[in-house]
Amino acid sequence: MSNIIQFPRTKAANNNKRNSIEAMEQARVHYEAVASEAMDGVALALTTNGYHPLKEKKMLKDMGVIMNMIVAMMYRIDGEIHFLQEPMDEIHDVIKYVKQINDKKRTEILTDDE
């Protein structure tokens, strides 16, 4: 049994919590705005090269994933946790592994030609 008496929260504590929630909301809006701007650039580059990301459902879905990954990246840089950071690390490791395999195969092919 604890001897600690729980006092009611003060108005200042409630204000701090409210300010914290407001700050988190402002950060979320900022991250999403920056990610949206980045995705506008990606969409422009794709369109310029003959792809139509806004007309293709699968491409639009993939762009949504990429946008959320951009948000997760900014959270990470700012020291915040985002649920996509761990899967992004796993994807990075898979890409790195596949690249090593491809580089090894490429080296073997070049060596066999000699």
Res 4: pLDDT: 56
Res 110: pLDDT: 81
Res 13: pLDDT: 57
Mean pLDDT by 10 residues, the chain (114 residues): 54 67 90 95 96 92 95 94 96 97 89 68
Structure tokens that stand for 72 in this block: 């997760």
In a domain, 93, yes or no: yes
CA dihedral defined by 71, 76, 78, 79, rounded to 10 degrees? Answer: 140
Q: Are residues 47 and 89 in the same domain?
A: no
Res 3: pLDDT: 59
Res 11: pLDDT: 61
Q: Are residues 44 and 94 in the same domain?
A: no
Q: How many domains does the chain have?
A: 2
Q: Which domain holds residue 94?
A: 84-114
This prediction has a pTM of 0.75
